[in-house]
Amino acid sequence: MEQENTTSWWLTAIQLGLIGGVVAILASLIGMVESFHARDIIAGQISMGETLLLLIMIGFAYSSSRNEQSPISTRVTSGVITGVTISLTIVLFVMLGAVVNLRSIFVNASPTLYKILTLEISNTALAYVAIVVVGAIVSLAASLVHGATPFWKRVISSGFFIVLLLALLQDLIRITLTPFPFITEVLSWMFGRRGQEGLSILGAIVVFLIVAGVIYNDAKHGAARRARREALPEATKRTRRWVSWGLLGVFLLIWPRIAGPVLSDVTNSVGLYILMGLGLNIVVGYAGLLDLGYVAFYALGAFTMGVLTTTGGEIFFDVRWTFWEALPFAVIVAVLAGIMLGIPVLKIRGDYLAIITLGFGEIIRIMFLSDFLKPYFGGSFGIVSIASPTIGGIVLDSSQTLYYVILAACFVALFVAHRLRDSRIGRAWKAIREDEDVAQAMGINLTATKLLAFATGAAFGGLSGAIFAAKLSTVYPHSFTLITSINVLALIIVGGMGSLPGVIVGGLLLAGLPELLREFSEYRLLIFGILLIVMMLNKPEGFLPEAVHKREFHEDENLSHAAGG
Amino acid sequence: MRQRFLNRINFTDIALGIIGTALVGLIVVGSFKTLAEGNYTTRQWLDFVVFGIAQGSIYALIALGYTLVYGILRMINFAHSEVFMAGSFTAYFAAASMAKSGFLETNTFVAVLILFAIAMATSTAIGVLVERVAYRPLRRAPRLVPLITAIGASFVLQYTFKGLYGDQFKAYPEIDTLKGSYTWGDINITKVQVVVILSAAFLMLLLYLYVQFTKTGKAMRAVAEDKDVAALMGIDVDAIIVRTFALGAALAGAAGILYAITFRQVNFFMGFIPGIKAFTAAVLGGIGNIPGAMLGGIFLGLFESIGPILFLDGLNVPAPYQLKDVIAFSMLVLVLLFRPSGILGERLSRTKA
């Protein structure tokens, strides 16, 4: 019995190692390792590509040393076995690559890749040994940390995480903080010389120590501090809340000044995604109707804005309205489309709804693209020179000024979504999401409620699209593919379906980060796909879940707890 | 009596009735005008029919994958279109190297069989992998959850293959042995179309026999009927589900090769449109129903190749062929609205729709 148990743990460790090795090789062959290699985490020492491989190793060593029943020595050994197996797999792959020319099939099996994998050591035998040694050390460290108290694990992993984040976001940090000379000096010390990417070694160590110190302190004294804060009188708490909201408001108002044109532009696309996310959140998150054709409303809003504000040429009527005159019509067109889509699909649920809405999105795109409607919408050339919004003679045509329009739209949408959430109609949506038949039996009018969900969601999408058209001042059918719908869906799922803070955080993470990190944007959809799967497997309620949803997804566990306790 | 009738109809039915009537009216008027104008000869119409059948048999093969999985798990395997892509994209490299060495011309039959084997093996591996990673842990989850994982899996596969093989279109080699065509009277059929139709028919026959007469086939039907009871009868449900996925994926791989020799272009994104079309075909025939998927595929292929010209040309729509996807999608909507059980399907119970 004992014997059988021991064999099984190391077999599992080797198995995990093999899977990890395959994952690492796949990440290399897809080109992630090489293209991430261009960005340094620690200047001249460790690149993002190497970090990716190390993270894969750490992750697999973690899960290999997870079994909490076994003694610490077993856990560490099994972690190390996994790490070494991953290294050996990589070594095998490099050996294979030396014999066979893999590049004729796998476009990314380039010499640079092998150089990265062999740690840029030219002596082959030495390189192989080095890979295995690195694997052993990394997995040893990982499983030791994992096996040590959860307290230290939290301190160390938060430290590493923040170092990684700072290194990745250094462009953002540098640009936003240049107006302050003192901080610039600190930064240039932390990040190494100008033009160099990544943290300096000393900078990384200092950041790690600071973060670890803060986390340590928080874990020791955080509970007491929180209790003290809880004990404050209600009035003080309210004042504090208002002050922090006020500070956030001021920050949002002056943000484009700090950020400069490029970052403002990134912020604007994030804002448009948040706007769409808020709309889709009503359809998917509140009402539970999975809509994969959401981009159609975005497209309709954009094209309506285009048609109504431009002139002559092939566009069919010469209205030349201003942005503000056209905006309500863009929203109305989107709402009408939402209702038109809604009516036929009223009786359709779940999977079928997803496919039909997907088809609807494609139909709208193909129609805009076709020769049939070319006289009206310009076919694949789209519509150009769309008017920018103006306020009292000021033309809002730069990203820094357009920001305010988007900010205002986001606030309106946020307000509407927030007020709707617990209103009568919002509760009706949630009832439909939980069980359509019961909802109907309770006297909810399914037709009206579902149509309202589609219409409200479409209104936000149309609004977002109209602003998008004004932002780019051109619209092409090619901007409105299924991928946009999937992006929006991914952001509300990662944030937490039905949760408003979730939409904002999801928007910042999924729309903002890929814009800031060029290397990521190529693998954006791959990463989103992985994210969707991992979220659904481990945390289906999202990062910032809504209370009801969380309960719903963990129903089984709650039931078993109730039964057990 | 009249009162009861009025009570029974509601807003939705009226709206649906109007939409349906308008579309049918448009189709009738369009077809009538096209035929009255007589711009197309019988020969051209027959060409459309042959093309439609060939195209439809590819759809049918893919549709079988959707239908098999749906029959057992009651879920749409959204990643199936990528399983289709994986097979033919991978087999491209074998095809290219065999074309270079001349093997493709000298031993066409063997070479094509090798291509089929590679594509089917790759697709099967991918299909089983997707089932293991993305679907099996979620058997008891709420319905929205596996659907979202499936969308995720679909994107992961697309971009993994984009990363592995690059993002350009790859041109499948043209096989000289398969050039040319046969003619009987007004019917003109290319050799490629013969190969496509015959191999699809052969594979479908094989599948039908497998599901009807082997032990695994019987177990599949039992699991589709009721998983829990099947488990009580000693059937390993998980193993049967894996086999179902493998079977559907293998057919998709074969369809990938047929698609590749017809259109001679592969790309990481090639699965998307045929995937949705095949799903439409599966719904059209009655999802969960194997002969239904075959019939639905052929029907959709015909509809798509004849439809744009027949319905839209008479209405003076320029370049009607660009709108063939619109026609296919509209058809999906119409079928789901007016006959959600499809042509051959049993009545969908409440839980299925």
ipTM above 0.85, yes or no: no
pLDDT for the residue A562: 46
Write the residue in A348, A367, A370 that is nearest to B336 by C-beta.
A348
* Beta-carbon separation of A523 and B15 below 8 A: no
Q: Is the pLDDT confidence value at B123 over 90?
A: yes
Q: Which residue of B has its CA nearest to A110?
A: B164
Q: What is the mean pLDDT of residues A442-465?
A: 89
3-class DSSP assignment, residue B187: strand
CB spacing of B337 vs A344 below 8 angstroms: yes
Tens digits of residue pLDDT in B16-27: 778 778 888 888
**Nearest CA distance, A351 vs chain B (angstrom):** 7
CA–CA distance, A61 with A81 (Å, rounded to integer): 8
Torsion of CA A203, A205, A206, A211, to 10 degrees: 120
Which residue reads 């408001």 in tokens?
A249
The domain tally of chain B equals: 1
- How many angstroms separate the Cα of A221 from the Cα of each of A149, A210, A224, A237? 18, 16, 6, 20
pLDDT digits (tens, 9 = 90+) for A411-453: 999 999 999 888 888 889 988 888 888 888 888 888 888 889 9
Distance CA A391, CA A322 (A): 11
Rounded mean pLDDT of A118-143? 83
- Which of A363, A437, A526 has its CB closest to that of B160? A526
The answer to the question of residue B35 being in a domain is no
Q: Provide long-range contacts, Cβ within 8 A and 24+ apart, for B219-223.
A: B220/B68, B220/B71, B220/B72, B220/B244, B223/B72
Average pLDDT over all residues of chain A: 81
Say if B336 falls within a structural domain: no
Is residue A359 pLDDT above 60, yes or no?
A: yes
Residue B28 forms part of a structural domain: no
Q: Is the pLDDT of residue B88 over 50?
A: yes
For residue B225, pLDDT over 50 is answered with yes
Encoded tokens for A178: 């240049």
More confident residue, A466 or A510: A466
What is residue A154's predicted lDDT score, i.e. its pLDDT? 78
Give the pLDDT score at A550: 64
pLDDT beyond 60 at A248: yes
pLDDT at B193 over 80: yes
Residue B345 has pLDDT above 70, yes or no: no
CA atoms within 13 A on the CB side of B132: 9
What is the per-residue pLDDT for B352? 41
| Token pair recorded at residue A466 | 């109209």
Of B155, B166, B329, the CB nearest to A526: B155
State pLDDT tens for residues A530-561. 888 888 888 777 777 776 666 666 655 555 45
- Residue A459 reports pLDDT greater than 90: yes
CA distances, A393 to each of A253, A325, A386 (Å): 20, 15, 17
CA B304 – CA B299 distance, rounded (Å): 8
Tokens for B70, please give them: 């749906």
Question: How far is residue A293's CA from residue A486's CA, in Å, rounded to a whole number?
Answer: 9
**Which of B14, B164, B269, B338 to mutate against chain A (most A CBs within 10 Å)?**
B164
Instruction: Report percent pLDDT > 70 for chain B.
Output: 93
pLDDT of A246 above 70: yes
In a domain, B98, yes or no: yes
State the pLDDT confidence band at A563, using cuts at 50, 70 and 90.
Answer: very low
CB contacts, 8 Å: A341 with chain B:
none
Q: How confident is the model over B9-48, as pLDDT tens digits?
A: 666 677 777 877 888 888 888 887 877 777 777 788 888 8
Q: What is the model's pLDDT at position A14?
A: 85
pLDDT of the residue at A527: 84
Residue A366 contacts B, CB cutoff 8 Å: yes
B324 inside domain: no
Indicate whether A389 pLDDT > 60: yes
Q: Name the CA dihedral angle for B154, B159, B162, B167, rounded to a multiple of 10 degrees.
A: 100
- At A335-353, the pLDDT tens digits run 998 888 888 777 777 677 8
CATH number reported for the structural domain that contains residue B192 in this entry: 1.10.3470
